[in-house]
């Protein structure tokens, strides 16, 4: 087992990136490694992760003829986040469980801000409200081109947001890169074109450093 310092609060790590960047693959590898190392941890995914949040997820991702307004989309994403944060994430961190989130607040800034064109500073305030001002300690942003993302995610059963296309994913990526520069203390940009094992190695190294640094 790896030596780790004891902290009075769990570590909160989020994973971000455009569709198909390899996030879910890396989240699962990190979860497996944490379990192997005996670190108490929990995985949550957004939108979703609790009963109410999963119901909101179904509304959000369903393809239908009526167009969902960008504002309704942002409010539903953040409503789901508020429920997940209060019911699941905050209690877990309080009992020193490490929380790994497959998407969190930055997805709203990148997709509804960059992708849909809503005001990012306004969305930051909305996020602060929805997250009870909780920020991740570490955010792994996996960067790939929109072409590669689309190729990897496949087009067999795209959800409503994945169907928005290449240009949309490009705008989302651009916004992620801006966020990485805006929040350099918690953002770690990972080159998503590396091998699955190589990327996992980098992520594990940063995670273990952060676990050891936590007071």
Q: Which residues lie near ligand ADP (CB under 6 A)?
A: 17, 19-25, 152-153, 194-196, 199
Least separation, in Å, of the C-beta of 32 and ligand TYD? 18
Least separation, in Å, of the C-beta of 136 and ligand ADP? 17
List the single partner that 11 binds among ligand ADP, ligand TYD, none, CB under 5 to 8 Å by kind.
none
Nearer to ligand TYD, 131 or 211 (CB): 131
Cβ contact 117:1 at 8 Å: no
Least separation, in Å, of the C-beta of 96 and ligand TYD? 25
Instruction: Quote the tokens at residue 151.
Output: 């190729």
Nearest to 211 by CA among 58, 34, 21: 34
Per residue, the 3-state secondary structure of 35-58, as one string, reads: HHCCCCEEEEECCCCCHHHHHHHH
24 makes contact with ligand TYD (CB under 6 A): yes
Binding to ligand TYD (CB under 6 A) within 87-146 occurs at 102-103, 107-108, 111-112
Provide the sign of the torsion angle of the four alpha carbons 32, 36, 37, 41, taken in this order: positive
Least separation, in Å, of the C-beta of 46 and ligand TYD? 4
Provide DSSP, 44-94.
EESS-SSHHHHHHHHHHH---SSPPPHHHHHHHHHHHHHHHIIIIIHHHHH
Residues of this chain that bind ligand TYD (CB under 6 A) = 19, 23-24, 45-47, 61, 77, 102-103, 107-108, 111-112, 159, 161-162
């Amino acid at each position: 087992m790896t030596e780790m310092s004891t902290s009075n609060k769990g570590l909160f790590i989020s994973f971000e990136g455009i569709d198909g960047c390899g996030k879910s693959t890396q989240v699962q590898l990190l979860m497996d490694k944490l379990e192997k190392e005996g670190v108490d941890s929990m995985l949550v995914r957004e939108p979703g992760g609790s009963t109410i949040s999963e119901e909101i997820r179904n509304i959000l991702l369903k393809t239908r003829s009526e167009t969902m307004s960008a504002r309704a989309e942002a409010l539903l994403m953040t409503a789901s986040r508020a429920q997940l944060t209060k019911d699941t994430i905050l209690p877990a961190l309080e009992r020193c469980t490490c929380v790994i989130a497959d998407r969190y607040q930055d997805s709203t800034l990148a997709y509804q801000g960059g992708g849909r064109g809503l005001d990012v500073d306004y969305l930051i305030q909305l996020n602060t409200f929805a997250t009870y001002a909780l920020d991740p300690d570490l955010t792994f942003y996996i960067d790939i081109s929109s072409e590669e993302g689309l190729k990897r995610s496949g087009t067999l059963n795209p959800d409503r947001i994945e169907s928005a296309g290449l240009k949309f994913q490009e705008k989302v990526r651009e916004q992620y890169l801006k966020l990485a520069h805006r929040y350099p203390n918690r953002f770690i940009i990972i080159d998503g074109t590396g091998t699955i094992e190589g990327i996992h190695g980098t992520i594990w190294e940063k995670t273990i450093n952060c676990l050891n640094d936590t007071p």
